[in-house]
């Protein structure tokens, strides 16, 4: 059963913005109007309806700015950014759809325009990383523009981009008095869409570069840096903490275990012997073909694995995807996490089923917080009650930093 959109996938993508309503990213009526405009239409109709909303909000923002209504302009620019970001998820895949890049460019432009009108200084940054730079924003806590304070670094997962994290997590943290550093890494946002740089499992190399950058800021308390990841970031953040020991704490929303386990179980269920599951090069091609047929018969699986998964990981076939997924392991390094860890687990979130295992592996310095459907927070990343998630996570961070 869908919530607003007729198509299951459109409903999944289109209702993300509901989580951003408390943080100035959207309004329910506008999301509902987009759903009605899409109706039973295809992915192009979904894209067109969201872009139309973004264009309208952007025009209203320009008008408000010209008329001297800075607060209204800021609100409208930020909502326009969310609308453009919502438009293109059904278009994921390689080669990159030009419409995706066009909407992404508008998304970032509107986000920049909105943040530029805020009271808190915002520094768009480029974080040096290997042969490129990572796009980011260093946002000062409300009322603490020139004060050295704790920093929360936000890291993404498979689907969202840097601007999503602002509404999902950053606004709540800023209100609590935390500075926030948002960035997109390999396989995310600009690096994927425009540079074609795929994701990588060794996120500790990424986080070390981000922390190197963060500690150079005069407003960052280098002894109070917290890393928080959502969605696949629930793997990436703990993996980052396993090799970066300047962190004061790490949050995994949800707590994830070895990412490749799901594909291994799928292959075994299709008849692959255990030795072949551990080494996908040994999986018989007939089993690969059977897996591929099952994936392509299910629109959601096809999008998650072939459209998104292949593209984000820079692979062209299912066997390579399985091989790559097996590299995303936390079991080998969980014991190296030296800071306190918080793992979340929402009742209906498959990715969060590894939270208990993660907490057990990290040991006494790890905490598990569960979220339930009865609380309205039982789905992936607690998107239907993000305020509850943020309250509990920020309370834990408050207490953890205070106890040192």
Residue that finishes a domain, picked among 64, 98, 118 = 118
Residue that finishes a domain, picked among 325, 350, 378 = 325
Q: With 0-12 CB in 10 A as exposed, 13-18 as middle and 19+ as buried, what is 214?
A: buried
Q: How far is CA 171 from CA 215, 394, 400, in A?
A: 22, 12, 20
Assess whether 104 and 196 both reside in one domain: no
Assess whether 153 and 181 both reside in one domain: yes
Pairing type for strands 149-155 and 220-230 reads: parallel
- What pLDDT is stored for residue 106 in this prediction? 99
Distance CA 207, CA 235 (A): 13
Assess whether 105 and 126 both reside in one domain: no
Assess whether 243 and 358 both reside in one domain: yes
- What pLDDT is stored for residue 231 in this prediction? 97
Q: Which two tokens stand for residue 213?
A: 């950058």
Give the chain's residues under pLDDT 70.
121
Question: What are the tens digits of pLDDT across the range 203-227?
Answer: 999 999 999 999 999 999 999 999 9
Residue that finishes a domain, picked among 118, 149, 168 = 118
- What pLDDT is stored for residue 220 in this prediction? 98
Expressed as residue numbers, the domain containing 106 is 1-118
Q: How far is CA 84 from CA 51, 64, 77, 125, in A?
A: 6, 19, 11, 22
Assess whether 321 and 397 both reside in one domain: no
- What pLDDT is stored for residue 277 in this prediction? 87
Q: Which two tokens stand for residue 324?
A: 């790559």
- What pLDDT is stored for residue 295 in this prediction? 97
Instruction: Provide the total of helices (H) and of strands (E) in the chain, helices listed first.
Output: 18, 8
- What pLDDT is stored for residue 1 in this prediction? 84
Assess whether 34 and 135 both reside in one domain: no
Assess whether 160 and 104 both reside in one domain: no
């Amino acid at each position: 059963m869908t919530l607003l959109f007729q198509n299951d996938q459109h409903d999944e993508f289109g209702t993300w913005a509901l989580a951003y309503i408390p943080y100035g990213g959207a309004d329910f009526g506008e999301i509902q109007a987009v759903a009605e405009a899409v109706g039973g239409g295809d992915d192009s109709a979904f894209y067109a309806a969201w872009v139309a909303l973004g264009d309208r909000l952007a025009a209203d923002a320009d008008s408000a700015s010209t008329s001297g209504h800075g607060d209204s302009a800021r609100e409208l620019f930020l909502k326009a950014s969310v609308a453009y970001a919502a438009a293109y998820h059904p278009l994921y895949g390689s080669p990159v759809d030009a419409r995706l890049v066009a909407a992404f460019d508008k998304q970032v432009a509107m986000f920049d325009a909105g943040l530029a009108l805020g009271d808190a200084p915002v520094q768009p940054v480029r974080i040096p990383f290997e042969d490129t730079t990572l796009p980011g924003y260093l946002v000062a806590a409300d009322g603490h523009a020139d004060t050295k304070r704790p920093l929360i670094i936000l890291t993404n997962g498979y689907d969202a981009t840097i601007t999503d994290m602002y509404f999902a997590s950053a606004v709540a943290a800023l209100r609590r008095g935390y500075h926030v550093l948002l960035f997109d890494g390999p396989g995310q946002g600009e690096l994927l869409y425009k540079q074609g740089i795929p994701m990588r499992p060794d996120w500790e190399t990424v986080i070390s570069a981000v922390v190197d950058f963060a500690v150079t800021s005069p407003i960052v308390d280098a002894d109070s840096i917290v890393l928080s990841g959502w969605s696949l970031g629930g793997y990436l953040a703990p993996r980052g903490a396993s090799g970066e020991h300047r962190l004061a704490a790490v949050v995994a929303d949800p707590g994830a275990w070895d990412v490749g386990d799901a594909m291994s179980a799928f292959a075994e269920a299709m008849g692959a012997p255990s030795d072949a599951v551990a080494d996908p090069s040994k999986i018989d091609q007939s089993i690969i073909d059977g897996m591929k047929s099952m994936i392509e018969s299910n629109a959601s699986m096809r999008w998650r694995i072939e459209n998104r998964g292949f593209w984000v990981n820079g692979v062209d076939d299912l066997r390579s995807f399985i091989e790559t997924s097996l590299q995303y392991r936390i079991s080998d390094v969980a014991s190296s996490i030296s800071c306190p860890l918080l793992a979340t687990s929402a009742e209906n979130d498959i990715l969060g089923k590894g939270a208990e295992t993660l907490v057990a592996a990290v040991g006494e310095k790890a905490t598990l917080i569960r979220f339930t459907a009865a609380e309205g927070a039982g789905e992936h990343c607690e998107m239907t009650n993000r305020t509850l998630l943020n309250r509990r996570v920020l309370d834990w961070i408050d207490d953890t930093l205070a106890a040192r």
